[in-house]
Amino acid sequence: MFTILLQAIENVALALIVGGAIVMAAAVRPFLSEKLALSSDAGLVATLEEISINSWNRYNRLALASAAALTVVDIIRFLTQLSAAYWHLGLTLLMLTALTGKLAVDKQLKLRLNTHAAAAVNSEEQNRGHRQVERLTKLILVIALLLVILPQ
């Protein structure tokens, strides 16, 4: 019964991470990017950029909580000797670290946007931050998919 509960927590956490990343990358980001590209109003551009950052921030916090739950599940499995898959815990910790990095970059993006408003939207620093977040998102998605696909 206990192993079923741990497996259910793991499945829900991974579903939130993978599903959320796919929804954000396939639906939210392209929609907001299209609106940003078409808009010429500086106030609207800054608002759309802030909406984009805030929506990713919400997903990142949820994914971080899910990754923390995965880590707790893996630690419980080790302590109770239900599993000895060190790679699983390693991948979970790597994902947790990448999500923490994403939140730090998002904080910098939001701070830059609040400080410089519309001038920050297409700045080199802002674009570099967005590219870094995209790379981290891809890494997190690959790790989450590996955790879903590979048996423990």
Q: How far apart are the first and last CA of the chain?
A: 18
Give pLDDT, residue 117. 65
Could you read off the pLDDT of 28-80 as tens digits, one per residue? Answer: 777 777 766 666 666 777 777 778 778 888 899 999 999 999 999 999 988 88
Say how far apart CA 71 and CA 89 lie, in whole Å: 7
Q: What pTM, to 2 d.p., does this model score?
A: 0.83
- Look at 93 and 127; give whichever has higher pLDDT: 93
Is the pLDDT at 27 greater than 70? The verdict is yes
Taking phi over 0 as left and psi of -120 to 50 as alpha, with beta for the rest, 150 belongs to beta
Give pLDDT, residue 107. 87
- Cβ contact 29:52 at 8 Å: yes
Average the pLDDT over 90-107 and give the result.
93
Is the pLDDT at 134 greater than 70? The verdict is yes
- Look at 40 and 7; give whichever has higher pLDDT: 7
Is the pLDDT at 139 greater than 80? The verdict is yes
> What SS3 class is residue 39?
coil
Give pLDDT, residue 34. 73
User: Hey, which of 21-25, 39-43, 108-112, 146-150 has the most confident mean pLDDT?
Assistant: 146-150
Say how far apart CA 21 and CA 138 lie, in whole Å: 9
Average the pLDDT over 16-21 and give the result.
90
Burial of 122 (0-12, 13-18, 19+ CB in 10 A): exposed
Give pLDDT, residue 47. 77
Say how far apart CA 29 and CA 1 lie, in whole Å: 40
